Amino acid sequence: MASFITVQLKKTSEVDLAKPLCKFIQQTYPGGESQAEHCRAAEELSKLRKSALGRSLDKHESSLETLLRYYDQLCSIEPKFPFSENQICVTFTWKDAFDKGSLFGGSVKLALASLGYEKTCVLFNCGALASQIASEQNLDSDEGMKAAAKYYQFASGAFQHIKDTVLSSLNREPTVDISPDTVGTLSLIMLAQGQEVFFLKATRDKMKDAIIAKLANQAADYYGDAFKQCQYKDTLPKYFYFQEVFPLLAAKHCIMQAHTEYHQSVLAKQQKKFGEEIARLQHAADLVKTVTSRYDEYINVKDLSDKINRALTAAKKDNDFIYHDRVPDLKDLEPIGKVSLVKATPMTIPLSQKFTDLFEKMVPMAIQQALAVYNQRKADLVNRSIGQMREATNLANGVLASLNLPAAIEDVSGDSIPQSILQKSKSVIEQGGVEAIDQLMKDLPELLQRNREILDESLRILDEEEATDNELKNKFKERWQRTSSNDLYKSLRAGS
C-alpha cells in the first residue's frame, strides 16, 4: 500500500541576475573593493539560480539543499535591492507545474517583475522536491521512515506558507498551481502522508492496537479533508493534477479507516466485546471492498483485504459457536479517538543549514534610507545651531562696541596693572587717600541738609514774588504788561 502522492516541480526560463544587480551596485555604491565584491556576489547569485533551477534535480537531499540556499539568498537580498518595474526590473517567468497544455498551445505560464513571485515559485519547488524525496525513502528502516516524515512535514509547511503569503507577494491572480486553494490542499495531503508514515512505523514496531487505531484514524481524517477540498473548491475539480489525485485520496481515506476499524476490533476482542469486534471488522471489509471496486487500478489492497477477511471469518465462527454476543449497529459503536504526530514545519529563515549570505556586507536599503534621513536632519540641526550662534555673536559684538570694548581696556594680558590706573591711584593717595574719601562721604549728609535748606528758601522767595506779581496784575489789570512769574520761573521750579 506504499503509494504516495508527489508534486511536480515548476519550470522556469533562464534569467541573468548579475547584469541588473551589478548596474544597480555601480550606481549606488562607491567604487573600490566593496563595489567589486558586491558585483562578484551578484554573479555568484546568478550561478546559484542556474544550479537550482536550470537543470533537472535528483531526488536527493543535496538537490533540496541547493534550492533552499537559493531561496534563503532571495530572502536575504529582498531588503537590499529594490526589485520593481521602476528600479531593478527583472522579469521571472514560470510555468504552471501541473498544466500539460493543449493540443494547439503550450502550458499556462506567468511572467512578473517581482522578487516575491520568484520566492513563491522557488519555495513551491522546495516543497515539491521534498515530497519526491520522501516518496523515495525506504520505509522498511527507521531512518527512512524518520526522513520521510520529516520531508512530508517540511513540504506541508512550504505549501502552507505559500497559501498564507502568495496573494500579498504577487498583488495579482496567480497561476492555479500556486493559488491558495491548490497549495492549501497540497499542504493537507503532505500532512496526511506524514501521519501515514507514523502509522506504518507504529504498525511495524507492533505498538498497542489502541494507539495504532488513533494514528490511522487521524490519517484518515487528513485524507478526507484533502479529498473534500478537491471536491468543493471551485477551481480544483477541473484542474488536471487533482483529477489524477482524486481517486488516490478517496482510496487512502477508506484504507486508513479500514486500518482504524481493524485495530480497534483487536482491542474489542481483548476486552471480550466480540459483537463489537465483528461489527468493526465488517465495516473494515466493506471499506476495502469499496477501494477494490472503485480504485483498484490506483492502489492494491489485496493483503489488507485478506487479513481483514481472515479475522472476520474467525471472529464470526467463534461468536456463532462460543460467545453468541450481539453484533451492534455501526452507528451504535463508540467513536475512535485520534492522535496527530505531524505538523507543518514553519518556514523560518534560513531554511538551509549551509546558508552563507553572499551580500552579508551590503547594508539593506531601509537602513541606507534611514541613514540618509538622519544625515539630512543632522545637517539641518547643525546649520540651525550655527545660525543661532552667529546671531548671538553679532549681538555680543554690538554690546561690546557700545561700551568701547575691548578698545577701552588698556591691558588685556592680565599680567600687570595698567599705568593709568597706577597714576590715578597715586593722585588719590596724594590728596589724602582713603581717609579723605571717607571724610567726604561723612560730610555728604550735612551738605545734603544745607542744600535742601537753600532750595526751600529759594522756593519761598519765588512764591512770595509770584504772590506779589499776582496782586499787582489784579490791581492794574491790562496795564500790567510784565511776564508772569509762573512762566518766568517755570524752568526753575521744574528743576527743583
Write out residues in the chain with pLDDT < 70, as ranges. Answer: 1-2, 31, 101-107, 235, 237-238, 240, 407, 409-414, 495-496
Return the pLDDT at 415: 74
CA distance 337 to 211: 9
* Cβ atoms of 121 and 12 closer than 8 Å: yes
Return the pLDDT at 85: 80
Return the pLDDT at 264: 95
* Cβ atoms of 31 and 25 closer than 8 Å: no
Return the pLDDT at 288: 95
- Closest-CA residue to 422 (of 435, 412, 404, 410): 410
Compute CA distances 1 → 393, 396, 398, whole Å.
Answer: 93, 97, 101
Return the pLDDT at 413: 67
Q: How many CA atoms lie within 13 A of 154 on its CB side?
A: 24
Return the pLDDT at 105: 47
Query: How many degrees, rounded to 5, is the angle at CA 208 between CA 216 and CA 194?
Result: 30
CA distance 65 to 48: 11
52: left (phi over 0), alpha (psi -120 to 50) or beta: alpha
Return the pLDDT at 62: 92
352: cell is 538551509
Return the pLDDT at 165: 93
Compute CA distances 5 → 8, 246, 248, whole Å.
Answer: 10, 11, 8
- According to the CATH classification, is domain 11-332 in 1.25.40.280? yes
DSSP string, 387-444: HHHHHHHHHHHHHHHHTTTTTT-S--SSSS--HHHHHHHHHHHHTTHHHHHHHHHHHH
Domain ranges of the chain: 11-332, 427-495
Give 5-52 pLDDT, tens digit per residue: 999 999 999 999 999 999 988 888 776 778 888 899 999 999 999 999
Chain Cα centroid distance, residue 491:
88
Q: Residue 12's beta-bridge partner residues?
A: 94
Q: What is the pTM of this model?
A: 0.75
Q: Residue 83's beta-bridge partner residues?
A: 88
Give 219-241 pLDDT, tens digit per residue: 999 999 999 988 877 767 667 67
